[in-house]
Amino acid sequence: MPDNLSPDLVAYALLEDRQLVSLSGPDAVTFAQAQFSSDVAALSDSHWHWSAWLTAKGRTIAVFQLIRLSSDALLLVLADGDADAIASQLQRFVFRRKVKITRREDLQVRAAFAAPQAAVGATVAGSLEEMLELDLGGTSLLRVMCITPTEADLKTADADAALTAAWRQADLRLGLPRLVPNQREHWTPQQLGLDRLNGYSVRKGCYPGQEIVARTHFLGKAKRALQLLQLSAPAEPGASVEQDGSVLGSIASVADGLALAVLPLETSDGALSVGGAPAQRLPLHDGLAR
C-alpha cells in the first residue's frame, strides 16, 4: 500500500449492493476481450474502466467496473448483484481457455463521499491484500471506493443502508444505469448512454452484440438516449414516461425520486409525467467516464 493511502483518514461504509467476480489465468484478458464490450486488451495494469456484457442481439445483461490488476488478473465490480449467475453463465464460454472465474466473497466493497487519497481517474492505488482504492467521482461529485479483505479493520461509518441509497442516487446523476432484473437484456448500450462512460468499443473486434452496436454507431441509427428525471411520485423501473397523453419511453433505473429514462432523441419541451405524476428533466453530471 502506498505510504499516503491510509484507511484511517476516511470513514467508509459498506456498499451493500456490490458483488465481485475475478477472472484469473494466462487467458483472462483474451477471454474478457472476446466477451465484454470494452477494449480490455488496451487497458493498462492497475487501471479500470466501465464495461458491459451483452446478448448476441446487443442487449445489456450487466454494466460493471472492470479492473485490470495485472496481465493475468481482472476483477469485475457488479453494482446490482447476480454475481453467481453471471459467473456461471460466463463459465459456459471458457471452453479450453486457461481462465478461472470466481465469485469473490472474500472481498468487500466500501465507499465514502470523499476525495481519494491516491487513486486518480482510471488509475487504482494499493492492493487487494490490504486496500485497493478507486476514484468513483465525477466533475462535481467526490466519491471514493475501496476493496478490501472481508475482515479488514477499516474505520467504518454506521449508516451502510443510507450510504448505499445515496450512492445509487449519485450513480444516476452521473449517468450510470443501474439495472434491476426486469431491465436486463432490454436496452442497447447506446440507449443506456454507455458512450458517455466509454463503456463500449466499436473498433476492437468481435464480442457478443458487437455487430449491432457497431452498426448503430456508424449508421447513426440510435433514436433513443438516456435522460435524468426528477420524479414527484414513486415509480418502478419499466414504468412509462408520457407527454401529452402519449407514451414517449420508459424508466430504466430509479433511486429515491430520481430516474434514468430511455426517451427519443428528438422530443418537444412539453411537460412529462410518470404514472400521472409530473416529472422534470435534469441535466446529467459529467466526469464518470474512464
What's the pLDDT at 154? 79
Query: Cell match 477471454: residue?
Result: 31
Ordered DSSP codes for 123-136: B-EE-TTS-EEEE-
Identify the band that residue 1 occupies on the pLDDT scale cut at 50, 70 and 90.
Answer: very low
Q: 32 in helix, strand or coil? A: helix
C-alpha–C-alpha distance, residues 113 and 108, integer Å: 17
Structural domains in the chain, sorted by start: 9-173 (3.30.1360.120), 181-282 (2.40.30.160)
Q: Each residue of 26-60: pLDDT tens digit?
A: 999 999 999 999 999 999 999 999 999 999 999 99
What's the pLDDT at 269? 83
Strands (E), 32-99: 47-54, 60-70, 73-78
C-alpha–C-alpha distance, residues 132 and 148, integer Å: 6
CA angle 164, 2, 103 (to 5 degrees): 45
Q: Each residue of 210-226: pLDDT tens digit?
A: 999 999 888 877 788 99
What's the pLDDT at 101? 98
Identify the band that residue 156 occupies on the pLDDT scale cut at 50, 70 and 90.
Answer: confident
275 phi, psi to nearest 5 deg: 60, 30
What's the pLDDT at 27? 98
Residue 102, Cβ density class (10 Å: 0-12 exposed, 13-18 middle, ≥19 buried): middle
Of the ranges 98-112, 140-154, 161-175, 239-253, which one carries the lowest mean pLDDT score? 140-154
Identify the band that residue 3 occupies on the pLDDT scale cut at 50, 70 and 90.
Answer: very low
More confident position, 202 or 159: 202
| Beta-ladder partners of 64 | 51, 78
Identify the band that residue 8 occupies on the pLDDT scale cut at 50, 70 and 90.
Answer: low
Q: What is the pLDDT averaged over residues 71-95?
A: 94
Q: What is the pLDDT averaged over residues 140-148?
A: 95
Q: Is the pLDDT of residue 2 over 60?
A: no
Q: Each residue of 196-205: pLDDT tens digit?
A: 999 999 999 8
